[in-house]
Amino acid sequence: MARKLPRKDVVIIGLGWTGSIMAYELADAGLDVIAIERGPWRNTATDYPPGYAADELRYRIRHELFLSPSQTTFTFRNKMSEAALPIRSWGAFMPPNGVGGGGVHWNAETWRFLPSDFMLKTHLTERYGASFLPEDMTIQDWGVTYDELEPHYDRFEYLCGTSGQAGNIKGTIMDGGNPFEGPRSRAYPNPPQDQPFGHTLFGKAARDLGYKPFPQPSGNMSRPYQNPLGVRLGPCTYCGFCEWFGCGNYSKASPQTTILPALVRKPNFTARDNSEVTRINVDGSGKRTTGVTFVDASGDEWEQPADLVVLSAYTIFNVQLLLLSGIGKAYDPAANTGVIGRNFTHQTISDVVSFFDPAKFVFNPFIASGAIGMCIDEFNGDNFDHGPHGFVGGGYMGHVQTNGRPIETTPVPPGTPLWGAAWKKAVKENYQSAIKPGTGVHGSMYSYRDVYVDLDPTYKDRFNRPLARITMDFHDNEIKQNKFLTDKFAEIFQAMGAKQVHKEYRKGPYDITKYQTTHLCGGAIMGTDPNTSALNRYLQSWDVPNLFVMGASAFPQNAGYNPTGTVAALAYWAADAILSKYLKNPGQLINA
Amino acid sequence: MRSVAKLALATFTLAAGVSGAMSAGLQDFAAVERGRYLTNAADCGSCHTVPGSDRPFSGGRPIETPFGVLVAPNITPDRETGIGAWTDEELEAALRKGVRRDGKWLYPAMPFPYFARMTQEDVKDIRAYLSTVEPVHNPVPVNQLPFPLNQRVAMTVWDRLYFTPGEFMVQSDKSEQWNRGAYLVEGPGHCGACHTPKTFLGGDKSDKRLQGYTLQGWVAPDITSGQGPLAEWSADDLAQYLKTGHNRFAAAAGLMGEVVELSTSKLSEDDVKAMAVYLKNQSGPKPAADSSADSHVLAAGGAIYQDLCSSCHKSDGSGVPDLIPNLAKAATVNMGDPTTVLRVVLQGAQSVATDKEPTGPAMPAFGWQLNDAQVAAVATYVRNHWGKAPPVSEDQAKKERAQLDTRTN
């Protein structure tokens, strides 16, 4: 029997980026806020100090910062006809765990989506006609526009101290920035990071080919920065240990380096770590949550009553918790009814590995940061005419070589033996003169009727709750998109003077064992119609109005960018709606 | 200040008329507010509250002195175990004369030689504020000193040697700001209690005021501004440090972190500036440059520095303003006594977080991965490569490590 704790105004489930943003915004407005986090509290100096933060074996290979599959996992299958099996070692994506969430171990690639991305269904239908889209594609408009989100993107970039070059300030196209981006209200808070040799060459080659390359917007600091909350970050040292790692020297934007120091000073904020929410409680009407039930590290069960619940865990666990709590109708792909679990997506990424003459090219790949690099956006979203190509979607592509770490950075030309003396010789010869971008082609993945999350009929977690089950495969549209983009990407490396260019196309079936990105999206999507979305345009549950659900689980489909910028902008947008609309008149904000 | 003084006088008269002996009564909001401010300025809460306790001023915190441990008493208004039954005069005698209610002498862990400089009105305001805090019944066994030090009568001799009674005297040839700073530094702020070198009896070496002392496992650096470690700090740098815990050179941690958190960060901008102006006007000696460091040790220390330290402190030791200390200019690094450097290298340090500088960056511990020789080498490097503070021996590192193993704070 759960013991009942004193009521709070707000309970936040998961203290990552969105949980931290919501906690700060709501506590700052005077609400009594508690955040409940499944994993441990983490601080820079005590949990990933420079003395061992750069331990590739510990963090990259052995996954120290991530959720342990023995704590909870999910099952996977490619097709609805298959039996799903539980994942026992993470592969395609890395479920975060602990305070700071994925914000601790991300690369800090901080993008905005294109204005047309938010109106995707309308935009593509108007331009190409409904018949151009695959029949089983279930893309939707978001219900929110780029212009509405712009101030919130801006807040996140200034929170993080994003280093970048604006491409469009209030409609004026800026030299050296991304000319395709939506208009921004002002420049980035910090100039772009310095670009190493290889990245600079890529930029030059792209320019020679007629593209407009620009430095990737980066949450790694190009200079010291103090954000609007008074929290300071130090300059990046280009050590190349961002993704999979915590930053030891306060130079990567994370909840720890941007929000938490200010948040923990608020007396009306409390956090409980190592405590897992097992259920969002709903009253007899089914229309109102009364708080959450969680289990602490001792295995004791507690009920935390609250007037408002913010669900801000990782994508798949947001969806699982909604399904387990019976909130919203579960998606049924056969009947095409229900909303929780639908429009589940990931990312369509691929890479090109290039080999240059070691006598002429020394790239020093270890001089890097998670978001360093030169990118082009000509083939993203609907920045180009898809008519002749027979697919929709796209992505940015860039030479974003995030590291030269010793265990993984062993690019060798195709045909080299996989081990032994010849392999060692090839590694030695190519380490300094090969390019294998950490982020290469970063393509969109659109949504389909048979790609979704539901509850597994067989496998249970440690609380005897069904695991989430992922059913996911690549569709022809994404395979075609990726071939087109990868070929374009390879041309740039050819132009740089590579002697050999090896394209690693993304092909089906979707492989859950190999890392792609951690950008799982959808499953509890926002939209304008309660029949096809779980949340309204303010991320408020259509079914339970005192529940707001953050994160990329709200994306109706995934665009060709890293999602964090948009995830955070949506959190600020939702916080603003709660403070300016919901609190004045708690209830459903949209009459649908 | 003038208007505050007038107000104080007015309330004094008013209160005296109403309640007789209780000059600034409980109901006197202005006196209570001034008292709260002065209680912060005097940092009473630091010693008289167990860190992390939600019962402020209820005593019980062990105070480490060179002679043994004293435990700070309960100063809540509890009549039995606190100071609730004390008259204003009795409290004033304790604060300004070091004489207890029972007539016995206080040990100077209670900085009454400094508080003696406070005005009578300020002491009364502190009393007015302390009367408003929650009374806590908490008997504290105060004196845990060994014989003969546990004989308080010994304090009569001490007082004769080291205690000069008398209120702060305004120096008319100095500015109002300087005098305000002097009052705060020499009176309630009791800066010299830590920063002035002590004789073997624990009394201030009056000819070396504010020139640095080591206590409770930390170096309280020379805070004169002559040629010492603060020579390059401007008054604004110093004021910023007191107010926020951070500036372009240094970050407050350890005991000073506590002072900033509980005391100086709560003072007004004008008051910390006044303290800074006064301190910048205190002359001190130029430390002798030491060139005796072994070049091999410096080379080893430099290599360790580049590997482990430079990612935050930069290759040239300059750090990041207001975030990561500048090792070439941080006072505690460049003192003759390496205690703080060794402690921070071995154990790490959590800098203070304040409203103005909420970041509170921390330095990780390196004691687990560096042996004594390596700790000594890197400490020597950071002290002797940019500045010329004396080298640190392996034996000093070993002793500091052993010291820290026995420390509970």
pLDDT in tens, B5-25: 444 443 333 333 333 344 445
Question: How confident is the prediction along chain B (409 residues), in pLDDT tens digits per residue?
Answer: 344 444 444 333 333 333 334 444 556 889 999 999 999 999 999 999 999 899 999 999 988 887 788 899 999 999 999 999 999 999 999 999 888 888 888 878 889 999 999 999 999 999 999 999 999 999 988 766 766 667 777 777 777 777 888 889 999 999 999 999 999 999 999 999 999 999 888 888 989 999 999 998 999 999 998 777 788 899 999 999 999 999 999 999 999 999 999 999 999 999 999 999 999 999 988 888 888 899 999 999 999 999 999 999 999 999 999 999 999 888 889 889 999 999 999 999 999 999 999 999 999 999 999 999 999 999 999 999 998 899 999 999 999 999 999 887 6
Question: Which DSSP category does A269 fall into?
Answer: E
Tell me whether residues B358 and A230 touch, CB distance under 8 A. yes
pLDDT at residue number B23? 47
Distance CA B194, CA B212 (A): 8
Chain A CB contacts of B245 below 8 Å? none
What's the Rg (C-alpha) of chain B?
Answer: 22
Both tokens assigned to B206? 């009056």
Tell me whether residues A226 and B360 touch, CB distance under 8 A. no
**What is the torsion angle, in degrees rounded to the nearest 10, for the CA atoms of residue B258, residue B262, residue B264 and residue B269?**
140
Distance CA A22, CA A155 (A): 13
**Mind telling me how many Å the CA of A225 is from chain B's nearest CA?**
10
CB atoms within 10 A of CB A508: 12
What element of type H or E holds A226? strand A225-226
0.95 surpassed by complex ipTM: no
pLDDT at residue number A49? 92
Chain A CB contacts of B358 below 8 Å? 229-231, 261-262, 265
Q: Is B50 on the interface with A (CB under 8 A)?
A: no
Query: Is-contact A256 A264, C-beta < 8 A?
Result: no
**Mind telling me how many Å the CA of A279 is from chain B's nearest CA?**
33
Chain A residue with the nearest C-alpha to that of B323: A232
pLDDT at residue number B70? 87
Give, in words, the CATH class of B176-280: mainly alpha
Distance CA A11, CA A307 (A): 8
Q: Nearest CB to B320: which of A224, A262, A265?
A: A224
Distance CA B124, CA B19 (A): 14
Decide if domain B295-408 falls under CATH 1.10.760.10: yes
Percent with pLDDT over 70 in chain B: 91
Q: Is B322 on the interface with A (CB under 8 A)?
A: yes
Distance CA B204, CA B215 (A): 13
Q: What is the pLDDT of residues B312-364, one digit of tens each?
A: 999 999 999 999 999 988 888 988 999 999 999 999 999 999 999 999 999 99
Q: Nearest CB to A261: which of B308, B310, B360?
A: B360
Q: Where in chain B is the domain with CATH 1.10.760.10?
A: 295-408
**Mind telling me how many Å the CA of A24 is from chain B's nearest CA?**
14
Q: Is A324 on the interface with B (CB under 8 A)?
A: no
Tell me whether residues B321 and A224 touch, CB distance under 8 A. yes
pLDDT at residue number B65? 83
pLDDT at residue number B166? 85
Q: Is B308 on the interface with A (CB under 8 A)?
A: yes
Tell me whether residues A44 and B323 touch, CB distance under 8 A. no
To probe the interface with B, which of A47, A225, A249, A258 has the most B CB atoms within 10 Å? A249
CATH superfamily, region A3-582: FAD/NAD(P)-binding domain (3.50.50.60)
Nearest to B12 by CA among B27, B25, B3: B25
pLDDT at residue number B141? 81
Chain A residue with the nearest C-alpha to that of B314: A237
DSSP H helices, A366-456, are: 421-430
Nearest to A220 by CA among A185, A246, A202: A246
CA dist A571 to A152, A542, A552, Å?
A: 8, 17, 10
Catalytically active residues of A are 519
pLDDT at residue number B148? 67
**Mind telling me how many Å the CA of B240 is from chain A's nearest CA?**
14
Chain A residue with the nearest C-alpha to that of B315: A237
pLDDT < 70: residue spans in chain A: none
Nearest to B21 by CA among B89, B97, B122, B99: B89
pLDDT at residue number B2? 41
Residues B120-152 as b or e (16 or more Cβ within 10 Å = b): ebbbbbbbbbbbebebbebebebbebeeebeeb
Chain A CB contacts of B363 below 8 Å? 45
* Amino acid (1-letter code) at residue B261: E
Tell me whether residues A262 and B358 touch, CB distance under 8 A. yes
Chain B CB contacts of A45 below 8 Å? 348, 350, 361-364
Chain A CB contacts of B348 below 8 Å? 45-46, 49
Tell me whether residues A43 and B362 touch, CB distance under 8 A. yes
